[in-house]
Amino acid sequence: MAEGLLTHICKGEYEVYSAGTEPSIVRPEAIEALAEIGIDISGNRSKSVDEFAGEEIDYVLTVCDNAKENCPYFPARTRLVHRAFPDPAGVEGDEETRLAVFRRVRDQIREYLTEFLEEIGK
């Protein structure tokens, strides 16, 4: 969700990538939660951080503790910024219950990314 939100907020001004330490699938609840606010991530795929080894990256934003703890080495010029959010994929229950958690985390991440961009002057 973070990649879709940041890409939308930045309006294509920056290259935005998302990757995980244990990539799996783009959750249908994430697709729906973002579609509700006009963001289409249905064509996105789950990627491994290994795909970006050797890339020049200005900022690495980790949004869960597992990613922070298992984040690979990045060159010294890369700024690592961490903010933990609950993992909505771990919520059990019916579809509406799971979707409600994805919506809440979507909104928290959107607020965080907006604040982050203001802080760095972008």
Give whole-number Cα distances, 77 to 15, 56, 57, 88, 92, in Å: 17, 9, 8, 31, 40
Domain boundaries, the chain: 2-55+86-119
Asked whether residue 76 carries a pLDDT value surpassing 70, the answer given is no
Which single residue is written with the structure tokens 């491994």? 48
Backbone φ, ψ for residue 39 (5° rounding): -115, 125
pLDDT digits (tens, 9 = 90+) for 16-32: 988 887 788 899 999 99
pTM score of the predicted model: 0.86
Contact call for residues 89 and 106 (beta carbons, < 8 A): no
What residues does 80 pair with on adjacent strands? 60
Mean pLDDT for 96-116 is: 96
The second-level CATH assignment, the architecture, of 2-55+86-119 is 3-Layer(aba) Sandwich (3.40)
Helix and strand element counts for the chain (H, E): 4, 2
